[in-house]
Amino acid sequence: MNAETLDLARLQFAITAGAHFLFVALTLGLAPLVAAVQTRATVSGSETHWRMTRFWGQLYVINYGMGIVTGLVMEFQFGLNWSGLTTVAGDVFGAPLAMETLVAFFLESTFLGLWIFGWGRINRWAHLALIWVVTLTAYVSAYWIIAANGWLQNPVGAERHGGRMVLVDRAAMLTNPDALIALAHVLGAGLLTGGFFLAGISAFHLRRATADLELFRRSLRTGMIVAVPAALFTLGVGFNQFAVVDEHLPMKYAVSTGDTAEQARLQAELAAKLGPGDYSPPDWIGVPADLMIQLGMVLFLLATVNLALAYRRRAGIVTRISRRLLTWSIPLPFVAVLCGWLFREVGRQPWTINQILRTEDALSPSASAGSMRLTLIGFTALFAVLIALDAWLLGRFARRGPDGSALGAAPEPAAEPEPVPNF
């Protein structure tokens, strides 16, 4: 297999999965926040909370729609570029992916459509139930994806029969400790992303002293109330996750911590067990892990300070500076989740399925350097446009404020027809 083809295919999938993950992180964070705000609005009848629901709900819908496109492209790449993976492990790895597709593209999309078009048309309690179902299916969808990914890291519950992996213990796969702790980490990171998104946009409007000060004060508090425990939870789970990494991928842990003696021991052990070869991931994988941790601590500190300041009615110089920093910090959780993704996926190299299938053997035999270059350019351009368009749409509707939200707006009354002259 041409090394250039392999590198291009890996880069192409990294861009695809990384771009998709940006949308997923915000979706997982915004969905429960919108549902919680609508619950408050439904129970209390507060007009402020209804307007909050429509405003943040519209931003959620924009991000969700863009994320669907990137997810579709990623599914195609499994079949086109990585047929070696599907040949060896399609019966195992494909099952959770199929479940995710059923949940995301059928259940989640259906209930979200009912929620979008059901404003003012169905009972308010039924409408509230819809957004909670959307939230639940988003989290179930994340579980199936993490279950599939966790199996690549720690392939439990399956045995190799001939040239194929066969699932023999469904419960072991579904309760894979690598998947469960990663799921908790991802969900915490999603809530942290959603909380900072809510608070950062609210801080922008509060600095501009727009007409909806009470709405954005409440939104900022909501974002920070979620972000503080989410940051603590994500950091705690993340540190505990290193023990799981050390157990299932000790080479990755040794390289990331700079333990060269342990790395040499593991290299000799794996070479004796699996044959000659380099079984070490790239030396730089510790960099994104360290950056992720540092960003998590910065975000926790920033959220804690702004939560304390969120209840002050008068905005002093400290409050104004903190709010400006809060707006500027909106991209930081996205950078942190990308760093975490890099550490998780690149650290598994040179394996696609840990100690079962090497990445070079997972690549499609028909893949060529020319086709990889062409599709890499095309996909990179596509994702750049989608991310830019998503950012532009979110920024545009965020700046407009609640009055610019079309979600849940009453339809314009139809103009009465002009009377026909009677001759």
Cα-Cα-Cα-Cα torsion 149, 345, 156, 239, nearest 10 degrees, comes to -100
Which stretches of 276-358 are DSSP H helices? 286-309, 317-328, 332-346
Residue 413 pLDDT level (bands cut at 50, 70, 90)? very low
The whole-number pLDDT of residue 353 equals: 92
The whole-number pLDDT of residue 230 equals: 96
Amino acid residing at 306: N
Residue 17 pLDDT level (bands cut at 50, 70, 90)? confident
Provide mean pLDDT across the span 124-150.
93
Higher pLDDT, 367 or 266: 266
Check whether 190 has a pLDDT greater than 70.
yes
Check whether 134 has a pLDDT greater than 50.
yes
Higher pLDDT, 312 or 216: 216
What digits encode the pLDDT tens for the residues 304-349?
998 888 777 666 677 788 888 999 999 999 999 999 999 999 999 9
Angle between helices 177-208 and 124-153 (to 10 degrees): 130
**CB neighbours of 348 closer than 8 A, spacing ≥ 6?**
152, 153, 249, 252, 281, 354
Inside any domain, residue 262: no
Provide mean pLDDT across the span 177-185.
94
Inside any domain, residue 296: yes
What digits encode the pLDDT tens for the residues 87-133?
898 888 888 888 887 777 788 888 999 999 988 888 999 999 999 99
Contact of 353 with 94, CB cutoff 8 Å: no
- How far apart CA 128 and CA 50 sit, in angstroms, is 11
Prior bond of 350 cis (ω within 30°): yes
What digits encode the pLDDT tens for the residues 371-385?
888 888 988 888 888
- How far apart CA 208 and CA 185 sit, in angstroms, is 35
Structure tokens at 334: 């996205």
Inside any domain, residue 350: yes
The whole-number pLDDT of residue 414 equals: 45
Inside any domain, residue 26: yes
Provide mean pLDDT across the span 35-49.
93
Q: Return the minimum-mean-pLDDT range out of 68-77, 91-100, 206-215, 375-384.
A: 68-77
The range of the structural domain enclosing residue 65 comes to 3-249+282-402
Inside any domain, residue 275: no
- How far apart CA 103 and CA 109 sit, in angstroms, is 8
Q: What total number of domains does the chain contain? A: 1
- Supply the pTM of this predicted model: 0.91
The whole-number pLDDT of residue 421 equals: 53
Check whether 417 has a pLDDT greater than 70.
no
> Over the chain, what is the mean pLDDT?
88
Inside any domain, residue 411: no
The whole-number pLDDT of residue 153 equals: 93
In the chain, what is the straight-line distance between the N-terminal and C-terminal CA atoms, in Å? Answer: 85
Check whether 192 has a pLDDT greater than 80.
yes
Inside any domain, residue 266: no
Q: Of 73-77, 103-107, 129-133, 161-165, where does the model show the most confidence?
A: 129-133
Give the DSSP letter of residue 188: H
Inside any domain, residue 268: no
20-34: burial string, b at 16+ Cβ within 10 Å, e else: bbbbbbbbbbbbbbb
The whole-number pLDDT of residue 26 equals: 93
Contact of 335 with 270, CB cutoff 8 Å: no
Strand ranges in 202-312 using DSSP code E only, listed in sequence order:
none
- How far apart CA 29 and CA 135 sit, in angstroms, is 9
Give percent above pLDDT 90 in the chain: 52
